[in-house]
């Protein structure tokens, strides 16, 4: 189960906006290093080796302070992504307010923002966020089963995330349900789309990738709790079979066609207008998309 010890310290950094090759933005911003959500599948756990922290990932957070942003006008027309390797609205944000402080500093620069979170604390900043041009917020939801959610992360409940999404959507802010990561044989994307289709502009679908130190952790958890899925996970993650994803793609394509939803393999520039069914974007093959982005295609 989860470790309970949490190490928190404040650090100074030279700059808070970092140029990025991510296809969704020009800059990545991370007001924190580490995250108390402690997701078992967190790809950002690789950051631990740059921190000098002996504690396990999920049991430490560094809180950043930074100097005044220089030449803020140069960010006009650019986009900043909150956050690439942490959650900007993890519980510590309520006390330290580093995400809010950065939003306030960027407010009149002309920069646009996209935010990804597993929290409803973001509701605190709704009035601030709506002042940014083309603001876009996404919530990660890969299950409607609270028991499974509790096994995988320490973030707020799925219902609290869904309520935050609804409020942002009804406030006219572009909202995304990020169904990620999809656990083969466990996550039901169609069930989730049914639940959110009236309160978001976009649904992103991303498959579970297993790499780094969490590969064994996830496979061991599957073996302990869902041994009937061992062969499926072996086929996908050892034999590199794409059959499961291809078949799931076909099921979702059929579902969206029946529901009259646009189904694409692309980025989020195709957000549906408010009041219409969300665009559903298949991001199963994001390795290909990322490589193309890095080549400038």
Report the pLDDT value the prediction gives residue 272, as an integer from 0 to 100.
Answer: 80
Report the pLDDT value the prediction gives residue 293, as an integer from 0 to 100.
Answer: 36
Report the pLDDT value the prediction gives residue 54, as an integer from 0 to 100.
Answer: 76
Q: Do residues 85 and 47 touch, judged by C-beta distance below 8 A?
A: yes
Rounded to 5 degrees, what are φ and ψ at 163? -65, -40
How far apart (Å, rounded) are the C-alpha atoms in residues 139 and 164?
9
Q: What is the mean pLDDT of residues 60-73?
A: 92
pLDDT digits (tens, 9 = 90+) for 151-165: 999 999 999 999 999
Report the pLDDT value the prediction gives residue 44, as an integer from 0 to 100.
Answer: 67
Name the most confidently modeled range: 14-28, 59-73, 118-132: 118-132
Greater confidence, 295 or 246? 246
State the Rg of the chain over Cα.
19
Q: Which residues contact 180 (CB under 8 A, 6 or more apart)?
A: 140, 142, 204, 205, 206, 283
pLDDT above 90: residue 177: yes
Report the pLDDT value the prediction gives residue 46, as an integer from 0 to 100.
Answer: 67
Q: What is the DSSP letter of 85?
A: S
pLDDT above 80: residue 268: no
pLDDT digits (tens, 9 = 90+) for 79-106: 999 998 999 999 999 999 999 999 999 9
What does pLDDT average to over the chain? Answer: 90
Report the pLDDT value the prediction gives residue 269, as an integer from 0 to 100.
Answer: 54
Domain spans of the chain?
Answer: 7-119, 135-297
What is the CA angle 193-271-165, rounded to 5?
55
Joined tokens for residue 115: 């935010």
Greater confidence, 276 or 173? 173
Report the pLDDT value the prediction gives residue 48, as an integer from 0 to 100.
Answer: 67
Q: What is the mean pLDDT of residues 278-294?
A: 62
Q: pTM here? A: 0.90
Which of the four pLDDT bands, split at 50, 70 and 90, describes residue 173?
A: very high
pLDDT digits (tens, 9 = 90+) for 4-50: 578 999 999 999 999 998 777 999 999 999 999 999 998 866 666 66
């Amino acid at each position: 189960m989860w470790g309970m010890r949490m190490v928190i310290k404040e650090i100074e950094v030279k700059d808070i906006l970092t140029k990025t090759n991510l296809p969704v933005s020009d800059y990545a911003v991370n007001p924190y290093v580490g995250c108390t959500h402690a997701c078992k599948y967190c790809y950002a756990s690789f950051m631990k080796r740059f921190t000098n922290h002996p504690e396990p990932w999920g049991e430490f957070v560094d809180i950043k302070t930074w100097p005044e942003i220089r030449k803020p006008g140069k960010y006009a027309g650019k986009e900043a992504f909150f956050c690439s390797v942490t959650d900007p609205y993890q519980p510590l944000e309520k006390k330290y307010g580093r995400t809010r402080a950065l939003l306030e500093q960027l407010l009149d620069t002309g920069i646009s923002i996209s935010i990804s979170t597993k929290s409803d604390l973001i509701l605190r900043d709704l009035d601030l966020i709506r002042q940014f041009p083309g603001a876009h917020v996404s919530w990660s939801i890969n299950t409607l089963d609270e028991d499974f959610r509790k096994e995988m992360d320490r973030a707020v409940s799925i219902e609290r995330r869904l309520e935050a999404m609804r409020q942002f959507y009804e406030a006219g802010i572009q909202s995304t349900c990020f169904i990620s990561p999809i656990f083969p044989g466990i996550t039901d994307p169609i069930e989730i789309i049914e639940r959110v289709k009236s309160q978001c502009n976009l649904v992103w679908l991303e498959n579970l990738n297993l790499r780094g130190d969490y590969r064994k952790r996830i496979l061991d958890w599957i073996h302990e709790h869902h041994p009937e899925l061992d062969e499926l996970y072996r086929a996908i993650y050892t034999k590199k079979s794409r059959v499961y994803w291809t078949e799931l793609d076909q099921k979702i394509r059929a579902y969206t066609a029946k529901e009259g939803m646009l189904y694409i393999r692309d980025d989020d520039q195709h957000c549906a207008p408010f009041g219409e069914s969300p665009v559903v974007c298949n991001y199963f093959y994001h390795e290909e998309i990322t490589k193309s982005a890095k080549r400038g295609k």
